[in-house]
């Protein structure tokens, strides 16, 4: 990443630095991440977390993780727990003392609602939400007034208290702000502040039967927490006048400011919680943590690191223009990170037997291999080598083209770290399938170099047949075949574009023995194949399952050239 990207301030940092230089907010910076616990977090949320958490960290401020749990009908404790886990993982912060719930503020919000009623700035309305929609007018025709608009504050207060006491049914009454029925901004046409919902809330149980609307609640939450910069996505820009109106009409409260930035969109995926829930409920993926999902837990299970996701968020930056980011940028971020940290290992995905005819039967030797050429501290390991190995079926051709540098009869290749071998022949079964490839090795090439300076052009990986670990390998591809599966212009349902080849499962792959002790926190590069990690969910004792995190870029081409 170039230095200019690292050091150039984004527009929100510019605002924060400007505010600090003017001594605003008492020189304080306080941000929040305010998810509604109605689904798992996705990579779009990661952008918001990195931005809010990053600002607090950079400017020595406070960050709170706030659940915007104001709608009891869609929210669940499962989501709360997953969100906490994901934010901790992504930030590397255990969030001690910094988790808040909007539902803890219900009483205070209620008190403020009474304040507006007493000031004649809020009233009880008996129109249903459908009626309100029908009555809302056009840009030039004002909204039809509700009779409650003319009620006295006393009458409204009485009705509001009875609403709270459960004397009315869902849909019967709402509390609305008295702002401007003719405003060109429809958000200001007397928006609803409270509606009746008779459902149990995950934290407050049945204590409440009136629940605040997002626009009313959000600024109050920010005010209670003394947030300085309340950052949300662009679709809330037209809600800002309402955010300001509520705060400006209450007395003696902390005054936060709202700023909007462009949400993250990524190619080949969908990012709305509603759609992700649909994929989960419809069984189109194995769950929220399916490694094809754009969820934070999906990326974690797939082997992504928080460092890579944070680097991605830094790279894409923060702006005010909506755009769609190529998923390749995210894939490259994880490759860059794993290239530095992954332990190199050998694993054969589609094995065929390689018999070394001149290698003594019953003998095994230990071959030294480098764990990570990017990090000397990772050291070396010993890998067993004997007369029969596994190699990739694809690394042998019966009738090779001229430029094929791997195994074919008469050609010499290097077995990575071990010896040069020359292919002498192969055997087939009755169906014409190759059952074994035969070769001879040159004992003078131990370590993979020849004393006489003889070069080979191909280097292939291998695993000793006697010591191989059997494993299931899951190769993931993009979740959708279309770059923009939920294009609003496209009448076809986005689910029609699910990639039917998004998951390929390989049973009985053969891995080098050290991988028997792999743990889910480790990251591996299977040489020439890609980056992998152990699947923590489906791995069973002696039955490891590995997920491919990312394919390799073209690193192997370099190794072949060096040979
Ligand atoms: P969705 O549209 O997926 O349902 P949401 O906006 O309803 O998401 P919230 O739980 O309300 O989800 O979001 C919490 C925070 O994350 C909000 O501040 C929101 O603006 C931000 N956020 C949500 N999606 C994105 C995104 N794609 N890019 C950046 N920020 C996002
Ligand atoms: Mg939302």
Residue nearest to atom 18 of ligand 1 (CA): 232
Three-class SS state of 11 = helix
Residue nearest to atom 16 of ligand 1 (CA): 45
| Same domain flag for 295 and 420 | no
Smallest CA-to-CA distance from 64 within 76, 52, 75 is with 52
What are the pLDDT digits (tens) for 189-203?
Answer: 999 999 999 999 999
Q: Tell me how far the alpha carbon of residue 190 lies from the centroid of ligand 1, in angstroms.
A: 25
What are the pLDDT digits (tens) for 336-357?
Answer: 999 999 999 999 999 999 999 9
How high is the pLDDT of residue 563? 46
How high is the pLDDT of residue 558? 53
Residue nearest to atom 13 of ligand 1 (CA): 35
Domain limit, last residue, from 233, 263, 293: 263
How high is the pLDDT of residue 73? 86
| Same domain flag for 20 and 79 | yes
Domain limit, last residue, from 428, 461, 494: 461
What are the pLDDT digits (tens) for 259-300?
Answer: 999 999 999 999 999 999 999 999 999 999 999 999 999 999
Instruction: Give the CA count within 13 Å in the CB-facing half-sphere of 562.
Output: 10
| Same domain flag for 481 and 507 | yes
Is residue 75's pLDDT more than 90?
A: no
* Closest atom of ligand 1 to CA, residue 233: 20
Contact at 8 Å (CB) between 77 and 202? Answer: yes
Q: Average pLDDT for residues 506-518, to the nearest whole number?
A: 97
Q: Is residue 538 part of a domain?
A: yes
| Same domain flag for 221 and 246 | yes
Question: Residues lining ligand 1, judged by CB closer than 6 Å?
Answer: 34-36, 44-45, 47-48, 232-233, 263-264, 271-273
Q: Is 432 left (phi over 0), alpha (psi -120 to 50) or beta?
A: left
Q: Is residue 180 part of a domain?
A: yes
| Same domain flag for 204 and 99 | yes
**CATH number of the domain enclosing 153:** 3.40.50.620
At 285, list the tokens.
């993926």
Cβ-based neighbours of 408, under 8 Å, separated by 6 or more: 396, 397, 398, 399, 400, 423
Active site residues: 36, 263, 273
Q: Is residue 393 part of a domain?
A: yes
Q: Tell me how far the alpha carbon of residue 438 lies from the centroid of ligand 1, in angstroms.
A: 58
Express as a percent the part of the chain with pLDDT over 90: 95
Q: Is residue 215 part of a domain?
A: yes
d(CA 29, CA 19): 9
Q: Tell me how far the alpha carbon of residue 45 lies from the centroid of ligand 1, in angstroms.
A: 6
Q: Which residues are registered as beta bridge partners of 390? A: 353, 463
Mutate to test the pocket of ligand 1, among 34, 45, 75 (most ligand atoms within 8 A of CB): 45
| Same domain flag for 387 and 428 | yes
Query: What total of structural domains would you count in the chain?
Result: 3
DSSP strand pairing (99-101 vs 62-67)? parallel
| Same domain flag for 300 and 365 | no
**CATH number of the domain enclosing 445:** 2.40.240.10
Residue nearest to atom 3 of ligand 1 (CA): 272
d(CA 244, CA 519): 51
Domain that holds residue 361: 347-461
Average pLDDT, the chain: 95
């Amino acid at each position: 990443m170039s230095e200019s990207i690292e050091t150039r301030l984004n527009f929100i940092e510019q605002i924060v630095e400007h505010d600090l230089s003017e001594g605003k907010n008492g020189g304080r910076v306080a941000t929040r991440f305010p998810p509604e616990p109605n689904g798992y977090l996705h990579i779009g949320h990661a952008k918001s977390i990195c931005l809010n958490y990053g600002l607090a960290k950079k400017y020595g401020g406070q960050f709170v993780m706030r659940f915007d749990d104001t709608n009891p009908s869609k929210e669940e404790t499962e989501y709360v727990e997953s969100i906490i886990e994901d934010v901790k993982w992504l930030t590397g912060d255990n969030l001690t003392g910094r988790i808040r719930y909007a539902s803890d503020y219900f009483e205070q919000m209620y008190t403020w609602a009474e304040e507006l009623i007493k000031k004649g700035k809020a009233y009880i309305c008996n129109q249903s939400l459908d009626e309100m929609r029908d009555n809302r007018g056009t840009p030039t025709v004002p909204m039809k007034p509700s009779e409650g608009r003319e009620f006295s504050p006393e009458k409204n207060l009485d009705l509001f208290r009875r609403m709270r006491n459960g004397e009315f049914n869902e849909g019967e009454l709402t509390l609305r702000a008295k702002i401007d029925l003719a405003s060109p901004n429809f958000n200001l046409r007397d928006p609803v502040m409270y509606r009746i919902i008779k459902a149990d809330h995950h934290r407050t149980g049945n204590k409440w039967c009136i629940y605040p609307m997002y626009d009313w609640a959000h600024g109050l939450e920010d005010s209670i927490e003394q947030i300085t910069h309340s950052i949300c996505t662009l679709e809330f820009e037209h809600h800002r006048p309402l955010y300001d109106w509520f705060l400006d009409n209450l007395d003696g409260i902390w005054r936060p400011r709202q700023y909007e930035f462009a949400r993250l969109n990524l190619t080949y995926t969908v990012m709305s919680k509603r759609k992700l829930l649909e994929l989960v409920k419809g069984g189109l993926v194995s769950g929220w943590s399916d490694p094809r999902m754009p969820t934070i837990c999906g990326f974690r299970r797939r082997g992504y690191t928080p460092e890579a996701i944070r680097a991605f968020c830094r790279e894409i930056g923060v702006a005010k223009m909506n755009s769609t980011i190529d998923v390749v940028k995210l894939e490259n971020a994880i490759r860059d990170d794993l290239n530095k940290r992954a332990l190199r290992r050998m694993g054969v995905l589609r094995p065929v037997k390689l018999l070394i005819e001149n290698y003594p039967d019953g003998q095994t030797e230990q071959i030294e291999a480098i764990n990570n050429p990017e990090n000397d501290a990772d050291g070396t390991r010993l890998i067993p080598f004997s007369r029969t190995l596994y190699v990739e079926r694809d690394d042998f051709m019966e009738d090779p083209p001229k430029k094929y540098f791997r195994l074919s009869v008469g050609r010499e290749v290097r077995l990575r770290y071990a010896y040069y071998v020359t292919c002498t022949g192969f055997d087939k079964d009755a169906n014409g399938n190759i059952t074994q490839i035969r070769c001879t090795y040159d004992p003078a090439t131990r370590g993979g170099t020849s004393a006489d300076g003889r070069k080979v052009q191909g280097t292939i990986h291998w695993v000793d047949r006697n010591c191989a670990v059997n494993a299931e390998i899951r190769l993931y591809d993009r979740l959708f075949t279309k770059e923009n599966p939920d294009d609003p212009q496209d009448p076809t349902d986005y689910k029609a574009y699910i990639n039917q080849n998004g998951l390929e499962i390989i049973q009985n792959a053969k891995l080098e023995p050290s991988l028997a002790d792999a743990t889910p926190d480790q990251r591996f590069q299977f040489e020439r194949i890609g980056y992998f990690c152990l699947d923590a969910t489906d791995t069973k004792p002696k039955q490891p399952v590995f997920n491919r995190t990312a394919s390799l870029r073209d690193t192997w081409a370099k190794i072949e050239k060096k040979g």
